[in-house]
Chains A and B, each alone.
Chain A
Amino acid sequence: MTKTMTGAKMVVQALIDQGVDTVFGYPGGAVLPIYDEIFQQNSIKHVLVRHEQGAVHAAEGYARSTGKPGVALVTSGPGATNAVTGLTDALMDSIPIIVLTGQVPTFMIGSDAFQECDTVGITRPCTKHNWLVKETDKLSSVLHEAFHIATSGRPGPVVIDIPKDVQFATGKYTEARQVETHYNPQVKGDMEMITELAEAMETAKRPVFYTGGGVINSGPAASQLLRELVAETGFPITSTLMGLGCYPASGDNWLGMLGMHGLYEANMAMHDCDLMINIGARFDDRITGRLDAFSPGSTKAHIDIDASSINKVIKVDIPILGDVAHVLEDLLNVWKSRGRKTNKEAVQKWWGQINEWRKVDCLKFEQKGKVIKPQYALSRLQELTKNHDRYICTEVGQHQMWAAQYLDFEDPNRWMTSGGLGTMGYGFPASIGVQMGHPDALVINVAGEASWLMNMQELGTAMQYKLPVKQFILNNERLGMVRQWQELLHGERYSSSWSESLPDFVKLAEAFGAKGIICSDPDDLDDAIMEMLNHDGPVLFDCLVEKHENCFPMIPSGKPHNEMLLGENADTANAIKSDGAVMV
């Protein structure tokens, strides 16, 4: 029996059929029929954000922390354009989200109608795929296909633009199982290549696993298989910013994060290894540093679901196109069946070298005096929250790098940060999405004061839905990372990189009905953090920190991995040469 219903009803029906329980959105003229349907049902919870960018980041936070696709619903015109930053963010970090946009009625498209914009045109380069649905009969199959495309292969954001007359009109509802799609990316890796990698692992003297967000996107099984592979081989493992949590920070073989602000031992291992096994990472420029000096002596294997990631910037010797979990399963089987061999003696020697690098203790810092060091604040946050069911979001900047360095992640999907796009203002709405997906968990957004202000309106959302998200603001009254680069690159001319006229964050919190805490004395910090944790409701924690602290270690742009700047005694003057200065 074919069901017929209005387009607006189809939207809600398709979301229910796809297992959606939460939608983040903001109403407007062109989505009123859908909002009317949402009003008349109880299966899906709608979270009213305060800005459409917040809706998309919240959907991202929900998706990253649950492994399910996130859904946002916004109106035409400004609703859609406000969603663009979130869509681009999700595209860069491969986050599956479905964004539904209202559109002016089909007969008004192209007439410069009120709140009209070319949504599919604007979002074409910042989505994995998008649709303008002009017929109600086609709407439900597009909705189902959208979920398939967003979540399969390399995940990403999709947009469905739905004109208002299509929402009002009645049409046939197609069930999800009836929808045919030609989009079925290859998930199994090539066995010949996998065997070649197993062979390389048997003889490698200085191997390293270089893992990324692809492990997390591949699902919990991928992290499980990775852990088994690391335990079985005894090889060291590092991860990109996006991959934190795929291997536990407490694991014996963990080297810490790599890259521009990665750990010394991780970057040195990358530079000196003879076998690099890239699992679901993409040789991003934050990772590689100077390309022609990137890990010059290594054989490189690369497991990736996206063919365009392979050989894009770094030539690899063993390319494996496929899903991480599928490939790791086959790799483990092949390697085991060949006798579980590794070059134990050489790998042990390699560990000796790595342990030498570890002695540099590149994250050491000294908390002295009456001003809180940001590293100290995060170390205390780590210590006081490590036994909680904890999810961490961040904004973008120095605090983000410090959070990656000083907080430990034991499991995947616990770390939500804007990696590829570097979106200031991501963390707060993302934390709202995470808390919606995990109502009983501890959700903390580590923020800088400038980033946090970019989407501070969402404090209203957190209050309305009683989401006890903790906003841990490392307030240095500076755009810290900008300031750091100006110090390194622009002769300490701090052009527009300080935060003037900052609000009183405690009063700001109270104005929304939330709790505000201010802390400036290291001796008070533990108590203040405990007060934050013990408060049942949103907290704005204004942690006043050292204003001129730089984020180290650092690979200056244009430099290779083995030329890192370490600690506060680093010679930062002229650290970046003219060829590196053009890079960001």
Chain B
Amino acid sequence: MSPLKIKKGSTSHSAYDLRPTFSDKEERHTLAVLVENEPGVLSRVIGLFAGRGYNIDSLTVAEVDHLGHRSRITIVTSGTPQIIVQIKAQLGRIVDVHKVNDLTVEGPSVERELALFKVQGTGEHRIEAIRLADIFRASVVDSTLESFVFEITGTSEKIDAFAELMQPLGLTEIARTGVAALARGSVA
């Protein structure tokens, strides 16, 4: 459309990728947000998502640098590329936010989640549950004659798959931590 023939394409020299080519397809992104560990900072972040109608698929937060007074919030969100760019810009606007990294686009990263599963059953179901747990490298952290509590670590997809298999074997309760993620390689 542009009559001036200005070249299109993204810029790599801006704080944010300000000139993306947008599509309408929803994407899932994992964002790592380094924040000042102040009272209310989590509320600012989730208030932004609630107030502007963005999705939170998963949220993890904990202090990561006690002396530096920093917490890391890992958010898994989904939206069109334009929304994702907007979410990052809006997060960057929060005064208590030091850094926003989009682990999904900024090179390879690892994502892990921890989950606890309570499975009740006896007989064949019980044996099948512990056999599957072994395959998934889940460990037993509590046991009674009629139940197990398994601990499993892995990607969200792996935990979803484990939950699906446990369902018919007496799964009664799940607790998940949400995603923690880091970029691969030596650069912090």
Q: What is A's interface to B at a CB cutoff of 8 Å?
A: 120-121, 124-125, 128-129, 132, 149, 154, 182-183, 186, 190, 192-193, 196, 199-200, 203-205, 274-275, 296-299, 306-308, 310-312, 315-319, 321
Contacts and interface: CB of A to CB of B under 8 A. Distances in A.
B43 A124 contact: yes
A192 B11 CA distance: 10
Interface stretch (B56-64, B83-91, B124-132, B146-154): B83-91
B86 A308 contact: yes
A200 B4 contact: yes
Contact of B11 (A120, A128, A190, A307): A190
Nearest to A312: B86
B37 to A, nearest CB: 13
A162 to B, nearest CB: 15
Contacts of B96: 129
Contacts of A306: 89, 93
Given A125-B51, A296-B1, A317 B6 contact: yes
B41 to A, nearest CB: 10
Contacts of B47: 124-125
Contacts of B93: 154, 306-308
A321 B39 contact: no
Interface in B142-173: none
A445 to B, nearest CB: 32
B3 A299 contact: yes
B4 A307 contact: no
Contact of A129 (B8, B16, B43, B95): B95
Contacts of A317: 2, 6, 8, 19
Interface string B72-97: 00000000001001100110110110
A420 to B, nearest CB: 15
B43 A204 contact: no
A275 to B, nearest CB: 6
A274 B4 contact: yes
A190 B98 contact: no
Given A307-B89, A317-B19, A321-B18, A128 B3 contact: no
Nearest to A193: B11
Contact of A275 (B4, B14, B22, B36): B4
B68 to A, nearest CB: 11
B40 interface: yes
A84 to B, nearest CB: 14
Given A124-B40, A128-B95, A182-B98, A274 B18 contact: no
27 contacts: A124-B40, A124-B43, A124-B44, A124-B47, A129-B95, A183-B95, A186-B15, A190-B11, A190-B14, A196-B6, A199-B6, A297-B1, A298-B2, A299-B2, A299-B3, A299-B6, A307-B15, A308-B89, A308-B93, A310-B16, A311-B85, A315-B22, A317-B2, A317-B6, A317-B8, A317-B19, A319-B14
Given A124-B43, A193-B11, A307 B3 contact: no
B66 interface: no
Interface string B98-140: 1000000000000000000000000000000000000000000
Contacts of B18: 307, 310-311, 316, 319, 321
A127 to B, nearest CB: 10
Q: Which of B13, B89, B95 has the most CB of A within 10 A?
A: B95
A190 B17 CA distance: 13
A319 B15 contact: no
B15 A321 contact: yes
Nearest to A296: B1
A305 to B, nearest CB: 10
A318 B10 CA distance: 10
B51 to A, nearest CB: 5
A121 B41 CA distance: 11
Nearest to A128: B95
Contacts of A183: 95
A120 B92 contact: no
A102 to B, nearest CB: 19
B4 A308 contact: no
A190 to B, nearest CB: 6
Given A120-B40, A307-B92, A316-B19, 19 more contacts: A121-B43, A132-B39, A154-B93, A183-B95, A190-B14, A193-B14, A204-B4, A274-B4, A296-B1, A306-B89, A307-B15, A308-B89, A310-B16, A311-B18, A311-B86, A317-B8, A317-B19, A319-B14, A321-B18
A152 to B, nearest CB: 10
B168 to A, nearest CB: 44
A321 to B, nearest CB: 6
A87 B157 CA distance: 44
A321 B14 contact: yes
Given A190-B11, A193-B11, A321-B18, A310 B89 contact: yes
A298 B1 CA distance: 7
A196 B9 CA distance: 13
Nearest to B18: A319
A306 B4 CA distance: 26
Contact of B3 (A297, A315, A319): A297
Nearest to A306: B93
A291 to B, nearest CB: 12
Contacts of A205: 3
Contacts of A298: 2
Contact of A190 (B3, B13, B20, B89): B13
B3 to A, nearest CB: 5
Nearest to B81: A311
A418 B48 CA distance: 23
A274 B51 contact: no
B4 to A, nearest CB: 5
B6 A200 contact: yes
Contacts of A192: 11, 13
B92 A308 contact: yes
Most buried by B among A124, A298, A311: A311
A134 B142 CA distance: 43
A362 B86 CA distance: 37
Contacts of B36: 182
A318 B16 CA distance: 13
A307 to B, nearest CB: 4
Nearest to B91: A308
A8 B16 CA distance: 42
Q: Return the 7 tightest CB-CB contacts between A and B, nearest first.
A: A308-B89, A319-B18, A129-B95, A307-B89, A299-B4, A299-B2, A308-B90
Nearest to B3: A274
Contacts of A319: 11, 14, 18-19
Nearest to A120: B40
Contacts of B82: 311, 315
Contacts of A128: 95
